[in-house]
Amino acid sequence: MAKRRVARGREEIREPWREPMALSDSNRQLRAQASERRAAEEMFRGLFESAPDAMVISREDGRIFLVNAQTEQLFGYARDELIGQPVEILIPERFRAGHVGHRAHYAVDPRTRPMGAGGLALFGRRRDGSEFPAAISLSPVRTREGVLVFTDIRDISAQQQTERRIRELNESLARRNAELEALNRELEAFSYSVSHDLRAPLRSIDGFSQALIEDYGDRLDAPAREFLQRVRAAAQRMAVLIDDLLKLARVTRTGLKLEEVDLSALAREVAAELREHDPDRPVELAIAPDLRATADPRLVRLVLENLLGNAWKFTRGRAPARIEFSAVTRDDSTAYCVRDNGAGFDMGYAGKLFGAFQRLHNASDYPGTGIGLATVQRIVHKHGGEVWAEGAVGQGASFCFTLRGGRS
């Protein structure tokens, strides 16, 4: 630095304070810069060492420059054994030659990117020769000494094992599902054909009993004719049961045709039919307006026919009989409910009601075969919904169901 002088008359007086000031300033600056760099370096080392993945820094020539503690742990080498070695030391022998080529290619166009793009499986090789599947990503950093490549290596054995386990579980679930579906189809076909085949002999039993009564009635005494009447009644009852079974089978066999359905309008139609069949009963019906759902209209009508039909039947003798159809929405799902103030039922049996031919009431008080709620449940499940019942003896009942857009 040129020394500055100030002219004062003839004498030249040096300004002694100027230079020491400038020096101490730049000294301070340098010291500050150095300590900043040290702090930055410490931070880098801290981050580098505490990184959860193995980190390897290599020079352009592919020789290892720096590794972190995770690298030592993952690969089983001490740091000193790696520094200065080609990075290929960390990959299985069979990939080494190819890797040198890749590396040269990378040096031409260094970009941050994951390795193994295109589905190539990557492996690391430990000091003892064992291998592990790895996720590897590369980031180039330009420095004064050239491009340094930061390689981040993660052992993904555990992740792959979990993925494999999930895949296996899914496959076994799918297999089980297919088996169950096949079994179900078999069962349905079986019950369908059995029901179907049983009809013909039943018709014979009923028909020939009738022929006996008509053609030979005068030669039979009264108890014999009574027995024959009982045979006919039993055969006819069995025919109804079989028809119901067939109806139930049909519900499961048909596919879903989903559309926007006005449940309120459907309920009003069903209620009108109930009144038409039983015009003398004073029943108060409250149907909430504008209840809509995505459902199969034919099947959801069957649900309402059964639930409203039950409510109608089990409120017999109530004055006034009250039936309500409404909806409650909770957590994004809407439950549709049919409530009545009829005979109710013992909640201890609530789970049984939905089984085929399960009845809690006397057939002479409340006629029926016990197939209605089984049908309701099948339809609701087909839609991906749930159905449940609440009630108390003598205090009415409520049946609620949800619909969730249907299962294929």
Ligand X SMILES: Nc1ncnc2c1ncn2[C@@H]1O[C@H](COP(=O)(O)OP(=O)(O)OP(=O)(O)O)[C@@H](O)[C@H]1O
AA identity, residue 175: R
Residue 352's binding partner among Mg ion, ligand X, none (Cβ under 5 to 8 angstroms by kind) is none
By CB atoms closer than 10 A (0-12, 13-18, 19+), residue 391 is: buried
* The amino acid at 118: G
Of 192-251, binders to Mg ion (CB under 5 A) are none
Toward ligand X, which CB reaches closer, 372 or 385?
Answer: 372
| Distance (Å, whole) CA 205 – CA 221 | 20
CB of 315 to ligand X, least distance (A): 8
> Do the Cβ atoms of 134 and 154 come closer than 8 Å?
yes
Contact segment (CB under 5 A) with Mg ion among 1-9, 58-66, 236-244, 305-313 equals 305-313
Length of the chain as a residue count: 408
Site mask, ligand X, residues 288-317, x = CB under 6 A? ------------------x---xx--x---
How many residues sit in the footprint of ligand X (CB under 6 A)? 23
What's CA 403's distance to the chain center, in Å?
Answer: 16
Q: Do the Cβ atoms of 263 and 336 come closer than 8 Å?
A: yes
Q: Which of 231, 240, 243, 225 is nearest to 207 (CA)?
A: 231
Question: Strand pairing of 11-14 and 5-8?
Answer: antiparallel
The least distance separating Mg ion from the CB of residue 352, rounded to whole angstroms, comes to 14
Residue from 103, 228, 344, 402 binding ligand X (CB under 6 A): 344
Q: Which is nearer to Mg ion, 372 or 385 (CB)?
A: 372
Centroid of chain to Cα 274: 40
Piece in contact with Mg ion (CB under 5 A), picked from 24-32, 274-282, 308-316, 346-354:
308-316
In whole angstroms, how large is the CA radius of gyration of the chain?
Answer: 43
For residue 70, the partner it binds in ligand X, Mg ion, none, with Cβ less than 5 to 8 A by kind, is none
Tokens 């300590």: give the residue.
35
Site stretch for ligand X (CB under 6 A), options 62-70, 88-96, 193-201, 343-351: 343-351
Q: Does 371 bind ligand X (CB under 6 A)?
A: yes
**Cα dihedral sign, 166-172-178-180:** negative
Question: Which window, 69-77, 118-126, 176-184, 337-345, contacts ligand X (CB under 6 A)?
Answer: 337-345
Query: Does 310 participate in binding Mg ion (rule CB under 5 A)?
Result: yes
Minimum distance from residue 339 beta carbon to ligand X (Å): 9
**Contacting ligand X (CB under 6 A), which of 370, 378, 385, 387?**
370
Among 372, 385, 391, 396, binds Mg ion (CB under 5 A): 372
**Comparison of 124 and 396: residue with beta carbon closer to ligand X:** 396
Residue in this structure with the two tokens 């048909």, named with its chain if needed: 254
**Which of ligand X, Mg ion, none does 397 bind, CB closer than 5 to 8 A by kind?**
ligand X
Written as one string, the DSSP assignment of 300-355 is HHHHHHHHHHHHHHHTTT-TTEEEEEEEEEETTEEEEEEEE-SS---GGGTTGGGS
Are the beta carbons of 325 and 283 closer than 8 angstroms?
A: no
Interacting span for ligand X (CB under 6 A) from 60-68, 159-167, 250-258, 372-380? 372-380
* Sites of contact with ligand X (CB under 6 A): 306, 310-311, 314, 340, 342-345, 353, 358-361, 368-374, 391, 397
* Sites of contact with Mg ion (CB under 5 A): 310, 372
